[in-house]
Amino acid sequence: MNSSGRFDYLVLGGGLAGAATAYHLGRRGERSVLLYEARIPNAGASGRAAGIVTDQLWNEWDVEVARATAEEYADLSRTHPEINFARNGFLRWTTNPVAADAIDVVYRRLRGWGVSVDRVGPTELASAFPWGRFEDVRAGLRGTVDAVVTPSAATDAYLAEARARGAEVWFGDGSGTLRAESAGVSFSASARTVRARTTIVAAGAWSKPLLRSLGQSLPLAPYRVQAATLRPPVAPPEVFPSGHDLDTDVYFRPEGPGRVLAGDGTERVEADPDRFVTAGDPGFLSHLAETIRLRLPGWEASELVRAWAGVCTSTPDRRPHVGAVDPDRGVYAIVGFNGYGVMRAGGAARRLVDLLIEGPGGRASHRLAPVDPRRFPPPHPNFLPRPGFTLDAGDDPRF
């Protein structure tokens, strides 16, 4: 333990983003690093995420970051096989003629960014998912190198590697006091006070009050998501492609021997991360069951193993906040992944650490310009979350 109580870097949050940031600081030789998690590892979205890793995303920045993140998982899996990283592919489809036209546009856009995708129809879908029914599908898209990972195990792997490189990891009791000082930030919890030259807020849905205590704000809206683990009547292969029905917004992926993880029970209203229902709702389970009955009839008699909910964090433009919030006091953020933290965490953290070490004005600043937290000047009005595996390219002409 650092007995001086002074650190170069204080990372607030022990989910994927915070753990990956501490890991990359360690890789760059920044050894005076403290990661503080107020609860337990994976207490937030990282412990409840689906674990699909795809670069079928909205813009070139996202594609590059998702690709870098997948490469990190592949590297980590060599020494941490428990993260269960596997490149299984990812297929999406629609029966809607408007969405089918959009898939053609998405296909051309993704191919232009170097994404390995091809167009598929009912025959290819039936071959990938023999328990399904796809005769009425108008268009589909297949990512050939997309993957799955166990997010909580990936977080633990990042934390272990960060510790091995000299970072200190401190778990608290849910409380803590954060104060801005003339030269950095002080933080007190569990009768201990530390000071840091640079503070990185990576606390997911809990980031808003942390930033507020420093006199800062970002447009963030926590929202509730739901998923379930199922055991089909006939066990599917241990590894098969992930799938996403664009018409119902239900996705599924392999989840260990004989089981499937399925969602998406996203609620498009702001949620309180300290006061939300952690169990799956009957409405979500009914929607999931109806989609399975119509599209995946071979799974209709599946056993429900468990259903749960977590809280992700949205931004107005579906892009995260990664970069300086108050550079004069050394306050930075890596938050607001809109449900895509598993796909972005490692690559985004690497770029943030480049900025922290290289300073503003250089290549690192340029690479983070699309997700600069200061792109939304205050005041920040309330907004409704609008996450999801959408087909559009977003609203910002820079993408």
DSSP single-letter state for residue 395? S
In degrees, to the nearest 5, what angle opens at C-alpha 121 toward C-alphas 239 and 52?
35
pLDDT of residue 190: 82
Residue 30 clears pLDDT 90, i.e. is over it: no
Buried b (16+ CB within 10 A) or exposed e, 319-349: bbbbbbbbeebbbbbbbbbbbbbbbbbbbbb
Q: How far apart are CA 87 and CA 242, in angstroms?
A: 10
Percent of the chain at pLDDT exceeding 70: 94
Mean pLDDT, the chain, integer: 91
As a whole number, mean pLDDT of residues 149-176 equals 92
Asked if residue 142 and residue 1 are part of one domain, the reply reads no
Per-residue pLDDT of 300-340, as tens digits, reads 999 999 999 999 999 998 899 999 999 999 999 999 999 89
Residue 184 clears pLDDT 80, i.e. is over it: yes
Q: Model-level pTM?
A: 0.94
Residue 86 clears pLDDT 50, i.e. is over it: yes
Asked if residue 154 and residue 46 are part of one domain, the reply reads yes
In 3D space, the residue among 201, 200, 204 whose CA is nearest the CA of residue 220 turns out to be: 204
Buried b (16+ CB within 10 A) or exposed e, 61-72: bbbbbbbbbbeb
**Are 279 and 350 contacting, i.e. CB atoms less than 8 angstroms apart?**
no
Residue 378 clears pLDDT 60, i.e. is over it: yes
As a whole number, mean pLDDT of residues 72-86 equals 97
Per-residue pLDDT of 249-290, as tens digits, reads 999 999 989 999 999 878 889 999 989 899 999 999 999 999
Asked if residue 292 and residue 322 are part of one domain, the reply reads no
pLDDT of residue 38: 87
Q: How far apart are CA 348 and CA 366, in angstroms?
A: 13
Asked if residue 227 and residue 300 are part of one domain, the reply reads yes
Task: Report the first-to-last Cα separation within the chain, whole angstroms.
Answer: 44
pLDDT of residue 398: 31
Q: Which CATH number belongs to the domain containing residue 125 in this structure?
A: 3.30.9.10
Q: What is the dihedral of CA 19, 21, 25, 26, to 10 degrees?
A: 20
pLDDT of residue 266: 85
Per-residue pLDDT of 138-150, as tens digits, reads 999 999 999 999 9
As a whole number, mean pLDDT of residues 103-108 equals 92
Q: How far apart are CA 116 and CA 370, in angstroms?
A: 23
- Tell me how many domains the chain contains: 2
Q: Which CATH number belongs to the domain containing residue 336 in this structure?
A: 3.50.50.60
Domain hosting 205: range is: 1-88+148-219+316-399
Asked if residue 103 and residue 242 are part of one domain, the reply reads yes
Per-residue pLDDT of 44-72, as tens digits, reads 666 677 899 999 988 899 999 999 999 99
pLDDT of residue 399: 28
pLDDT of residue 47: 61
In 3D space, the residue among 149, 147, 91 whose CA is nearest the CA of residue 117 turns out to be: 91
Indicate the residue among 314, 343, 377 that finishes a domain: 314
